[in-house]
A and B are shown apart, each in its own frame.
Chain A
Amino acid sequence: MKDLSWTRLPSTDNCGTMDTRKRIGHRIGHRIGKGPARRNLFGPVDREQLQVEYQAALQEDLEEACQRWGFDFISDKPLERSDFQWHAIPANKVPLLYRSCMLGPGRTEGQRTAEAAVKPKGQGRVEPPQSDKENIPCSPERCALNMEKTPERRENTGLKRKQTNITDFYQAKRRVVWMPLKSGE
């Protein structure tokens, strides 16, 4: 193969790639999108259609989650046919942080996630006025407001934070042991 010999040619300047990044950085500096990399590849986006597909995709995800956990997250009830047994725990038995996260029925998708943020009241604890905790479910609309700002670290709020698990609300007992082997998809 004649072509392959290209890559084997003796070269004095093979170091070319070494400084590419630096040179590119130098050339373009920190101005964004002045160079040719700023471009629209496939024409205008159909925003309405995009919104429809977005809602449909979220709905699909929600249904998948319902099936997987045997729990109807919309009506907030365990499904009848489920691999799990769900036991309700009184709200006052779960840490404060999780209480108003309960998703009520009859609310629309967007509202539900938006209102899921916890707002404890009258507990004598100092809470940030607008919750900036990373664990709190937060709709994109909400995030868009203070997007890209690193949340300020707040000390001494007196709350231990941890990842919210579904088992924080319900104890899960696995009834059926068989589970499909999880793969990347």
Chain B
Amino acid sequence: MELLCLEMDTIIRARPDPNLLCDDRVLQSLLTIEERFLPQYSYFKGVQKDIQPFMRRMVATWMLEVCEEQKCEEEVFPLAMNYLDRFLAVVPTKKCNLQLLGAVCMFLASKLKETRPLTAEKLCIYTDNSIRPQELLEWELVVLGKLKWNLAAVTPNDFIEHIVRRLPLPEDKLALIRKHVQTFIALCATDFRFAMYPPSMIATGSVGAAICGLQLDSADQSQWGDSLTDLLAKITNTEVDVLKECQEQIERVLVSSLREGRQQQQQQQQQTQRGPSGKGLDELDQSSTPTDVRDVNL
């Protein structure tokens, strides 16, 4: 008799727990502790000498691509970026070690959030073997030390359900809204301008941007009572003006990101027309747009 194991590729997830999601105290606690996990400084102005904001974006984009390709849980990437920013806020880091740091942060975030975490070997392959598993493990210890082992950071993703549940949204659109919000959150994590924002603000702004983007706010104005922004601001105790600005910033980043994505597509098309001789360009391709966002068809 042959024994078949059919459990191979199913990932077991806990169901959303109404005890946690419907209790106001949970949201209040998240709001209280979230600031503790923000990077302490805008590190490009002080701590970091060798690395530039565009390098953070390069490593962030690469991390997002790896997370996408490995089908990581949604919060892995924003959490890894939180580790990266907190580390960079205290440790001057060389450009050539930035990818190692990114890999370490994904390694840690994946271990914290996933039932089947990314392996060190896989991550090293993704760096095109420029780092070794041994180095990854050594630096894991260093990063943990610098983060004071505080890994359970609050991410914008922690707020999604709390916010969405408090809004009068059509049931059949919820999955789509969640997906768009996650995409916006990932997009924010790739952009340093959002690194110092509290996660709740990024989450609230992303929900606002998603609802507006899907035009769910204009369908029936009366159901909202207050405007959407007012309602959102109330949920996470954010100032309305600040929230508005944040949402607009998210929308701007999306637009420029889409534009870059389009240009890149064109470049790639031209390249394929030209044949494999255009390899130099391919290496230059910094793929600075999150893959997920590139697939948003607006």
Using CB atoms and an 8 Å cutoff, list the residues of chain A in contact with chain B: 1, 3-4, 6-11, 13-18, 20-21, 23-25, 28, 32-33, 35-47, 50, 53-54, 57-58, 60-61, 64, 140-141, 143-144, 147-148, 182-185
- Check A32/B248 contact, CB under 8 A, given A15-B176, A42-B55, A42-B98: no
* Contact of A184 with B292 in the complex, beta carbons under 8 Å: no
- Contacts of A141 on B, CB cut-off 8 Å? 134
- Check A54/B131 contact, CB under 8 A, given A3-B252, A6-B255, A41-B98: no
- Contacts of A46 on B, CB cut-off 8 Å? 96
For chain B, give the interface size range.
Answer: 35 or more
Residue-wise interface mask of B (285-298) relative to A, using a CB-CB cutoff of 8 A (1 in contact, 0 not): 10100011001111
- Check A6/B130 contact, CB under 8 A, given A16-B295, A36-B285: no
Report the Cα distance A1→B248, complex, angstroms: 10
* Contact of A9 with B298 in the complex, beta carbons under 8 Å: yes
Q: Which of B100, B126, B141, B285 contacts A140 (CB 8 A)?
A: B141
Q: Which of B36, B130, B212 contacts A184 (CB 8 A)?
A: B36
Q: Which of A11, A44, A60 contacts B130 (CB 8 A)?
A: A44
* Contact of B175 with A18 in the complex, beta carbons under 8 Å: yes
- Check A3/B298 contact, CB under 8 A, given A35-B69, A42-B95, A45-B96: no
Least CB distance from B111 to A in Å reads 11
* Contact of A57 with B145 in the complex, beta carbons under 8 Å: yes
Least CB distance from B113 to A in Å reads 16
- Check A37/B62 contact, CB under 8 A, given A50-B135, A140-B134, A141-B134: yes
Q: Which of B17-25, B114-122, B156-164, B232-240 contacts A (4 or more CB under 8 A)?
A: B114-122
Report the Cα distance A37→B64, complex, angstroms: 9
- Check A185/B130 contact, CB under 8 A, given A11-B298, A41-B99, A42-B55: no
Least CB distance from A168 to B in Å reads 18
Q: List 25 A-B contacts (CB under 8 A).
A: A7-B209, A7-B213, A8-B215, A13-B297, A14-B296, A16-B297, A17-B292, A24-B291, A33-B122, A33-B126, A36-B65, A37-B126, A39-B126, A40-B130, A41-B59, A144-B133, A147-B133, A148-B119, A148-B121, A184-B37, A184-B40, A184-B148, A184-B150, A184-B153, A185-B39
Least CB distance from B67 to A in Å reads 9
Report the Cα distance A44→B292, complex, angstroms: 29
- Contacts of A1 on B, CB cut-off 8 Å? 248
Decide if B279 is an interface residue (CB 8 Å cutoff).
no
Least CB distance from A34 to B in Å reads 10
**10 extra A-B contacts, CB within 8 A, seeds A20-B68, A35-B69, A182-B36:** A4-B255, A9-B298, A17-B179, A23-B295, A39-B62, A39-B127, A45-B96, A45-B131, A61-B145, A183-B36
* Contact of A32 with B298 in the complex, beta carbons under 8 Å: no
Q: Count A/B pairs, Cβ under 8 Å.
A: 170
Decide if B30 is an interface residue (CB 8 Å cutoff).
no
Report the Cα distance A6→B254, complex, angstroms: 10
Closest to B254 in A: A7
- Contacts of B122 on A, CB cut-off 8 Å? 32-33
Residue-wise interface mask of B (135-170) relative to A, using a CB-CB cutoff of 8 A (1 in contact, 0 not): 101111110011110100100000000000000000
Report the Cα distance A17→B180, complex, angstroms: 7
Residue-wise interface mask of B (275-289) relative to A, using a CB-CB cutoff of 8 A (1 in contact, 0 not): 000000000010100
Q: Which of A36, A40, A54, A185 contacts B90 (CB 8 A)?
A: A185
- Contacts of A7 on B, CB cut-off 8 Å? 209, 212-213, 251, 254-255, 298
Q: Which of B97, B121, B297 contacts A11 (CB 8 A)?
A: B297
- Contacts of A144 on B, CB cut-off 8 Å? 133-134, 137
Q: Which of B141, B148, B287, B295 contacts A17 (CB 8 A)?
A: B295
